[in-house]
Amino acid sequence: MPEFTTIGLIVRRNSDSAVYSLKRLIRFLQDQGKAFVLEQETADHLPDKSLQKGASCTASLEDLGSYCDLVIVVGGDGSMLSGARALVNSGVPLLGVNRGRLGFLTDITPDDIEQKVAEVLAGQYVAEQRFLLDTEVRRRGQLISAGDALNDVVLHPGELIRMLEFELYVDDHFVTSQRSDGMIVSTPTGSTAYALSGGGPILHPRLDAIGLVPMNPHTLSSRPMVVPGDSHIKILVGEYNNASPQVTCDGQLHFRIHPGDEVVIRKKPKQLTLIHPLNHNFYERCRSKLGWGGHLLD
């Protein structure tokens, strides 16, 4: 196991509870003799500026990976998603402390910060690879916009509640034309997020697969599909749509598109490393987060 010597810290802004957990985390790292680097916007928004004094430096979110060998995110899944997109190319692993709501990606509870982070620093952890999706919007062959997504890429009508018409292709094979509210293209990581609420299947994080989940299709025969992870997915937006559709990556990056545009989605070559405590269990996480039943004899 590699030794983590310099720790990057990202905290969910406008959250008193997250800042409190950050204080505990900084105190613990200092006691352990570990250097830490504060993400720049985290440092700028800290109400207690004394927290910056022990930091080696501050760095932008995009540059944080060049200073650190581990980044800890204190916040919710949204904070982890933005951190993952910014840091995936650096190869630095991410560890999450949950100060959000659901917390599928942030493993450590606030009460366990010192114990669990100590275990990770001692090499007692599980490293897991997750892939992201590369997304491009092309208009008459020209690249208009691009982004990454750890959870999902969603085609939707935008501000107006109107059905979209589009064609779906996988590996240049025509699959179907559809009238619906849009399409969710999901990684296994994102299968427990928006895709799940749209009726999509839960995919184990180790699967090399992509979920295609239609949103309120105008036909009962349209169902979610799972395709190989190396698939080349293309969505051709119909020429006669009256809506102003958008493509959204992880619910955080938004691109307005025009009728006739192509949305091209494929697996990103560079993968993200997530760090989990040794007691991490995907099925237990599903039970606790999604309210599944426990043992019948308990």
Catalytic residue positions, numbered = 77
Q: Give the Cα separation of 27 and 51 in Å (integer).
A: 9
Q: Give the Cα separation of 153 and 217 in Å (integer).
A: 17
- CB contact set of 281 (below 8 Å; sequence gap of 6+): none
Cα dihedral: 265, 100, 88, 287 (round 10): -70
Q: Map tokens 């994102």 to a residue.
A: 190
- CB contact set of 174 (below 8 Å; sequence gap of 6+): 167, 168
The Cα angle at residue 72 between residues 67 and 78, in degrees rounded to 5:
115
Instruction: Please count the helices (runs of H) and the strands (runs of E) in the chain.
Output: 6, 19
Q: Give the Cα separation of 135 and 248 in Å (integer).
A: 10
